[in-house]
Amino acid sequence: MARRNAGRSAATPGRRPEVPRLKVSAGEARRAEQGVRRGALVIVLCVLAVYANSFSGPFIFDDIPNILANPAIRAWWPPQRLFDPPPDAGIATRPMVSLSLALNYALSGYRVWSYHALNLLIHVLAALALFGLLRRTLLSPALRARFGGFATPLATAAAVVWAVHPLQTQAVTYIIQRCESLMGLFFLATFYCAVRGWDSPRGGRWHALAVLACLCGTATKEVMVAAPILVLGYDVAFNQRSIRPALAASPRLYIGLAATLVPLAILTGLTGSQTLHTDQLPVTPIEYARTQPQVILHYLKLVFWPAPLVLDYGWPVAPWFRAWPAAVAILVLVAATLWALRHHPRAGFVGVWFFLILAPTSSVVPLQDLAFEHRMYLPLAGIVAGVVVGGYALLRGRAVATVPLAAVTLVVATALGATTFARNRDYRSEVAIWSDTVSKRPTNARAQLSLGVALDRAGRKAEAARHTAEALRLNPNSAKAQTNHGIGLLEMNRAQEAIEHFRRAIELDPAYVSAHSNLGIALCQLGRLDEGVQQLREALRLDPRCVEAHYNLAIALRELGQVEEGRRHYEEALRLDPRYTMMDAAH
C-alpha cells in the first residue's frame, strides 16, 4: 500500500493547490457583507471630510507647465497629442495622466474644481482598494486563524488612517501629483485583482484585470516597475510557497505583469532625450545615493509625526561626514527586513513593500529633487497596515486590548484628519503655500523665487522684488532666478538693467526659452526692434509653442511693418492658448 504524506497534500506541479474555504451560513455571509459596506462607507466619509476644503486651491508649481502651459490636454484627438507635452512638462512618459487632465479640461477648462474632484475620487478609490486588499489578506489561509474574525474592522482602521494621513496631502491637493495617487490606485488595484484571482474559481478573469491595472499603472508613473516583483513577493509570503511553485501556479499572471514593463521601457526610451530646465544643480548618482538615507529617515519621521510638511524642500546634498549615521540606520532597517523575510515572511513583506516602492526615487537614480513627500503615498500603506495589524496582534488577549479598536482609530484618525484639513488651507493660494514653504525653508532659492513670482502675480511688486532678489543671492547661477529678477525690473520700466540679467541667464542656460523671449521684449521696449525680433525668433526656434514669444513677435513685426507675418504669429498664439488676448502682455 502506498504511503501518504501526513499533514500536507501534494500539489500538482504548475497548478495552484485548492484554497481551503470556510463554510458560512447565509446569515453570517449577509452580516459580513454589511460589515464591508459599513467599512467602505466610513472610509469614503472620512476622506470627504478631511479634504472638503481642498477644492479651491489654485494651480501651483509644476501645475503651470503640465496643465496651464500644456496645449496637449486641450483636445482628445489626435491621441498622439498626449505624448507631446511642452519640453518643461514632466508627463511625457505618463499618457494616463495626460488623458485624465484632458478629461478635466473638457469638463471645466481651467477652473480648478474638476481637477480637485478627480484627485479626490482617485484617492477614495485607492483607499477602498487598500481596504479590500487588507481585508482579503487577513482572511487568507495564512492569517485567517489569527485575524479572520476581525479582518473587516482592522482593514477599515488601516485604510482610514492611511487615507486621512497628512503626508498624503501633496499627492491629493497638489493637482499634478495625481501622477503619484493615480499610479497608487493602479498599483493597489493590481494587487487586489491578483489576490481575488488566487481566491476565486474565475481566477483567470481577475488576473487579466490585474495585468490591465498594471499596464495602466506603467502608463502613469515609472514607480509601477516595482509592482510585478512585489506581487510575486506577496504570493510567496502569504500563499506560503517558494518562488518556482508560485510562478508555475500562475504563469499567465506573471507573464502578463512582466509584459507590462515593455511599454514603460518604450515610453521612457521615446522621451528620454527630453530636456528639463531647472534651478536645481545637477546631482551625481553617488551624491544622490548618499543623501537618500537622510531623506528616508525624514519620511519615516513624518509617518509618526507629520510636521513640518513642506511643498519644496530644496534638500541639499549630504556631505560624507554627515551621511554615514543615516546610512547605518537604513542598513540596519534593511537587515532587519531581510531577517524578518526569512523567519517571519509576512512581517518582512511590510519592509520589502516600503523599500522596494521607494527604490526608484530614493536609491541611486538622480532625480530633479532629492525629497518630495508625495513619494510616500504607497510606502505609507505598508507601514500603517503593519502598525495596525501588528499592534492588534501584540495586544490581543491583554488588558489594554479591551479598548475598542474603533475608539483608538477615531482618536488617531481625528488627530491626523485635523492636521490634513489644516494643511489643505496652506494650498488656498500661491502666495499662501509659498509663504509657508519659505517660512520653513528660508534658504531654498527656488521657494524664494516661486514666492516672488506668486507675489508679482498678486500685484505685490515690492515684496516680489525682495524675494526674487533673495533667490538670486542664494543661487546666482540660476537662469530662472536671473530671468525672473529681470522680469521684475522690466515691469518697473528698468529695461536696460533687465537686459543684463536676461543675458546672464542665457550664458547660464543657452536653451532657456524664457530668457530669450524676455530679452526680446526688453530690447523692443528700448526701440531695438531688429535685435528684439532676433531674440524672439530664437525663443521660437527652441520652443515653437512658446505663446509669449509668438504674441510679442507679432507686436514687434507689426511695428516693423511686417503685418501679415505678425498676424500669423498672433493667430498661432491664440491657437496655442485660447485665453491669450490682445489684453495679455505676459512675460
Grid cell digits, residue 508: 547660464
**pLDDT given for residue 368 in this prediction:** 80
Inter-axis angle of helices 203-218 and 261-271, nearest 10:
10
**pLDDT given for residue 24 in this prediction:** 57
Note the Cα 273 to chain centre separation in Å.
Answer: 22
Given CA atoms 382, 385, 388, 393 in this order, what sign does their dihedral have? negative
- Cell 481585508, located at residue: 135
Question: Of 228, 219, 223, 226, whose CA–CA distance to 267 is shortest?
Answer: 219
Give the integer Cα–Cα distance in Å for 192 and 142.
17
What are the DSSP calls for 10-69, one per residue? PPPTTSPPPPP-----HHHHHHHHHHHHHHHHHHHHHHHHHTTT-TTPPP-TTHIIIIIT
Residues 6+ apart with CB under 8 A from 544: none
Give the integer Cα–Cα distance in Å for 526 and 502.
14
User: Residue 412 is which amino acid?
Assistant: V
**pLDDT given for residue 312 in this prediction:** 97
Question: Of 462, 478, 467, 425, whose CA–CA distance to 442 is shortest?
Answer: 467
Give the integer Cα–Cα distance in Å for 434 and 422.
15
- List b or e across 318-356, with b for residues whose CB sees 16 or more CB atoms inside 10 angstroms: beeeebeebbeebeebeeebeebbeeebbbbbbbbbbbb
Give the integer Cα–Cα distance in Å for 511 and 277.
8
How confident is residue 237, by pLDDT bands cut at 50, 70 and 90?
Answer: very high
Whether 4 shows a pLDDT value over 60: the answer reads no
Using a pLDDT cut of 90, give the percent of the chain over it.
72
Name the pTM for this structure: 0.90
Residues 150-163: tens digit of each pLDDT: 999 999 999 999 99
**pLDDT given for residue 364 in this prediction:** 78
Question: Of 495, 503, 545, 547, whose CA–CA distance to 524 is shortest?
Answer: 495
Note the Cα 358 to chain centre separation in Å.
Answer: 12
Whether 7 shows a pLDDT value over 50: the answer reads no
**pLDDT given for residue 271 in this prediction:** 53
- The one-character DSSP state at 297 is H
**C-alpha distances in Å from residue 452, one per residue of 133, 277, 527:** 45, 19, 28
Whether 20 shows a pLDDT value over 60: the answer reads no
Residues 6+ apart with CB under 8 A from 567: 554
Task: To the nearest 10°, report the CA torsion of 346, 351, 357, 362.
Answer: -170
Grid cell digits, residue 510: 543657452
- List b or e across 208-232, with b for residues whose CB sees 16 or more CB atoms inside 10 angstroms: ebbbbbbbbbbbbbbbbbbbbebbb
Long-range CB contacts for residues 136-139, cutoff 8 Å, separation at least 24: 136/192, 136/195, 136/196, 136/199, 137/195, 137/238, 138/389
**Mean pLDDT across 180-197:** 97
- The one-character DSSP state at 280 is S
**Mean pLDDT across 166-179:** 98
- What is the biggest distance separating any 2 CA atoms in the chain, rounded to whole angstroms? 106
Give the integer Cα–Cα distance in Å for 55 and 425.
10
User: Residue 469 is which amino acid?
Assistant: A
* End-to-end CA, the chain: 90
Is residue 148 packed enough to be buried (19+ CB in 10 Å), middle (13-18) or exposed (0-12)?
Answer: middle
- The one-character DSSP state at 314 is -
Whether 277 shows a pLDDT value over 60: the answer reads no
User: Residue 92 is which amino acid?
Assistant: A
Whether 417 shows a pLDDT value over 50: the answer reads yes
**pLDDT given for residue 299 in this prediction:** 98
Sequence-ordered alpha helix ranges (H) in 109-175: 113-138, 144-147, 151-164, 169-172
Whether 221 shows a pLDDT value over 70: the answer reads yes
**pLDDT given for residue 499 in this prediction:** 96
Residues 6+ apart with CB under 8 A from 36: 135, 152
Sequence-ordered alpha helix ranges (H) in 441-494: 445-457, 461-474, 479-491
Task: To the nearest 10°, report the CA torsion of 140, 336, 299, 143.
Answer: 10
Question: Of 432, 410, 375, 358, whose CA–CA distance to 168 is shortest?
Answer: 375
Contact 222, 265 (CB under 8 A): no
**Mean pLDDT across 2-11:** 38
**pLDDT given for residue 367 in this prediction:** 81
Task: To the nearest 10°, report the CA torsion of 423, 426, 430, 431.
Answer: -150
Helices (H) and strands (E) in the chain, counts: 27, 0
Residues 384-405: tens digit of each pLDDT: 999 999 988 887 756 555 567 7
**pLDDT given for residue 281 in this prediction:** 64
Phi, psi of 292 (to 5 degrees): -60, -35
Is residue 17 packed enough to be buried (19+ CB in 10 Å), middle (13-18) or exposed (0-12)?
Answer: middle
User: Residue 287 is which amino acid?
Assistant: E
Residues 194-213: tens digit of each pLDDT: 999 998 888 899 999 999 99
Q: Within 10 A of 416 (CB to CB), how many other CB atoms are there? A: 22
Contact 70, 101 (CB under 8 A): yes
**pLDDT given for residue 352 in this prediction:** 97
**pLDDT given for residue 394 in this prediction:** 83
Question: Of 103, 129, 169, 61, whose CA–CA distance to 95 is shortest?
Answer: 103
Give the integer Cα–Cα distance in Å for 479 and 277.
9
**Mean pLDDT across 21-32:** 67
Residues 6+ apart with CB under 8 A from 546: 513, 517, 539, 540
